[in-house]
Structure 1
């Protein structure tokens, strides 16, 4: 996906400032951790876990 390709830009202080600079929502957004998933199999692993939980009671 795109986020791993732009990871250096996402690490810049200007990104987190732009993310949190949302007026009355600043306090809320400052408490939200920002993470980038770099594992290319993350979606497949999530789907597998969902499938396992769905099949097994």
Structure 2
């Protein structure tokens, strides 16, 4: 289960990604680690990045 602080941090990062704002490498690594552990976070990340990012990863 994800803590409230972690969820808020994830949502903040994802909101910045969706709005084409700056995201640090550390934040991207944080998202990557959590998405590999949690299917919920993985779905959030996939939703924020959109279908284009998914097709790039699978090409």
- Which structure has the greater CA radius of gyration? 1
Q: Structure 2 length normalisation: TM-score? A: 0.26
Which one has the bigger helix percentage? 2
Q: Which has the higher contact order (CA 8 A, sep 6+)?
A: 1
Q: Structure 1 length normalisation: TM-score? A: 0.26
